[in-house]
């Protein structure tokens, strides 16, 4: 199949904006994405001739709303009133895309390059280590973030990897979990000072107590430190694994709901958006419903943190889902909506 626009690809617009692509399902003539970097002579990212500032400071709805406000005021063509999702989102018209950046292509270029800076060399070494341990081909990996668009700063930029395909992602999850448990000098989990900083920053971004955030952090298998540099690994689907087209399902908002539920299937929580199938729902606040089937998160913090059979507590936007493919109608909870105004969350319930 033709390589489409995948989650965590980047697109550069004719104005020089860098948008990070969100999800794998997009309108016919647009690509859904968040504005990440914009030209700014005082910016900390860039080259000798072009400097960039990071517009989206954190991946949270609070900071995302700031980018929406900027685009609505200055570049309204990048805002899209979706009749499928019944909301206003940022989405780049195809005709405004100057270049499409693919993580796997950039990574291949790094492996073939004669000269690399220290951060790029660390990317190559980290991918080689994970590939050897997981037996996943190098071609299944990619590099995203500032390194992808070649505006990184070796002094402070992180390493954000991608791995493509369900089976490859599961192999990498198992291998990386193993590597992090060994905690050698090169590849290890965050040390205590780094954990404290991570917890501090997330505690004010999300409506969670410190112990909840710490539990969630401990379940993140895809983050750590490599040769002193923070890194993350983000599973992504390949085109044959994307079965939905934009408009196949229509989502209608019906307020905010808070529930407890049991996880029946967490296999899709690896990806973005992360999806958990649920049952045995107990509504804590909001309308009493008997057809709540899913919790879907666009907040990466909550992806792949709950397991089959585990009970969770969640608060988010209630949506009616109308599946046009088979006429099925049901409800889901969406985490990461503007309507929740940063009050939505997902957390495991410990006995």
Q: What is the pLDDT of residues 155-190, one digit of tens each?
A: 999 999 999 999 999 999 999 999 998 877 789 988
Say whether both 212 and 266 belong to one domain.
Answer: no
> Is residue 312 in a domain?
yes
> Is residue 60 in a domain?
yes
Residue 301: name the closest of 241, 209, 223 by CA: 223
| Segment 109-121 mean pLDDT | 97
Comparison of pLDDT for 58 and 254, the residue scoring more: 254
| Segment 67-76 mean pLDDT | 95
Q: CA-to-CA distance for 310 and 346, rounded, in angstroms?
A: 12
> Is the entire prediction scored with pTM above 0.85?
yes
pLDDT at 49 over 70: yes
Comparison of pLDDT for 13 and 301, the residue scoring more: 13
- Tell me the torsion sign for CA atoms 237, 242, 246, 251: negative
Say whether both 48 and 88 belong to one domain.
Answer: yes
Say whether both 261 and 187 belong to one domain.
Answer: no
Q: CA-to-CA distance for 204 and 58, rounded, in angstroms?
A: 12
pLDDT at 257 over 70: yes
Say whether both 92 and 122 belong to one domain.
Answer: no
Counting residues of the chain whose pLDDT is more than 70, the rounded percentage is 99
Say whether both 21 and 125 belong to one domain.
Answer: no
> Is residue 139 in a domain?
no
pLDDT, averaged across the chain? 94
- Which pLDDT belongs to residue 185? 75
pLDDT band at residue 126 under the 50/70/90 scheme: very high
Say whether both 288 and 261 belong to one domain.
Answer: yes
pLDDT band at residue 57 under the 50/70/90 scheme: confident
Say whether both 300 and 223 belong to one domain.
Answer: no
pLDDT at 279 over 90: yes
| Segment 3-24 mean pLDDT | 97
Q: CA-to-CA distance for 311 and 263, rounded, in angstroms?
A: 6
Q: CA-to-CA distance for 139 and 87, rounded, in angstroms?
A: 36
- Which pLDDT belongs to residue 1? 65
> Is residue 140 in a domain?
no
Give the chain's domain count: 3
> Is residue 302 in a domain?
yes
What residue numbers bound the domain in which 277 lies?
A: 248-348
Query: What CATH number does residue 342 fall under?
Result: 2.40.50
């Amino acid at each position: 199949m033709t390589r489409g626009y995948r989650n965590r690809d980047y697109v550069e617009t004719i104005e020089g904006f860098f948008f990070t692509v969100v999800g794998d399902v997009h309108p016919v003539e647009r690509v859904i994405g968040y504005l990440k970097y914009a030209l700014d002579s005082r910016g900390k990212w860039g080259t000798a001739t072009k400097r960039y500032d990071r517009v989206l400071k954190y991946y949270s709805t609070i900071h995302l709303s700031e980018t929406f406000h900027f685009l609505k005021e200055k570049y309204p063509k990048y805002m899209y009133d979706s009749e499928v999702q019944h909301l206003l989102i940022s989405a780049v018209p195809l005709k405004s895309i100057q270049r499409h950046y693919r993580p796997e292509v950039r990574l291949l270029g790094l492996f073939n390059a004669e000269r690399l800076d220290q951060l790029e060399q660390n990317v190559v070494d980290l991918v080689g280590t994970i590939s050897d341990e997981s037996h996943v081909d190098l071609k299944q990996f990619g590099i995203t973030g500032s390194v992808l668009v070649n505006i990184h700063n070796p002094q402070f930029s992180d390493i954000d990897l991608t791995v493509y395909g369900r089976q490859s992602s599961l192999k990498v999850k198992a291998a990386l979990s193993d590597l992090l448990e060994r905690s050698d000098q090169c590849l290890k989990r965050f040390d205590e000072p780094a954990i404290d900083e991570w917890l501090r920053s997330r505690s004010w971004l999300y409506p969670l107590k410190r112990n909840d955030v710490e539990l969630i952090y401990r379940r993140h298998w895809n983050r750590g430190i490599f040769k002193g540099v923070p890194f993350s690994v983000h599973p992504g689907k390949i085109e044959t694994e994307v079965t939905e087209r934009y408009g196949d399902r229509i989502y209608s908002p019906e307020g905010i709901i808070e529930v407890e539920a049991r996880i029946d299937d967490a296999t899709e929580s690896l990806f973005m958006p992360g999806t958990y199938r649920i049952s045995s729902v107990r509504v804590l606040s909001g309308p009493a419903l008997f057809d709540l089937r899913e919790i879907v998160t666009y907040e990466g913090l909550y992806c792949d943190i709950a397991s089959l059979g585990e009970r969770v507590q969640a608060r988010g936007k209630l949506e009616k889902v109308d599946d046009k493919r088979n006429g099925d109608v049901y409800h889901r909870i969406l985490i990461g909506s503007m309507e929740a105004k940063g009050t939505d969350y997902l957390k495991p319930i410990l006995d």
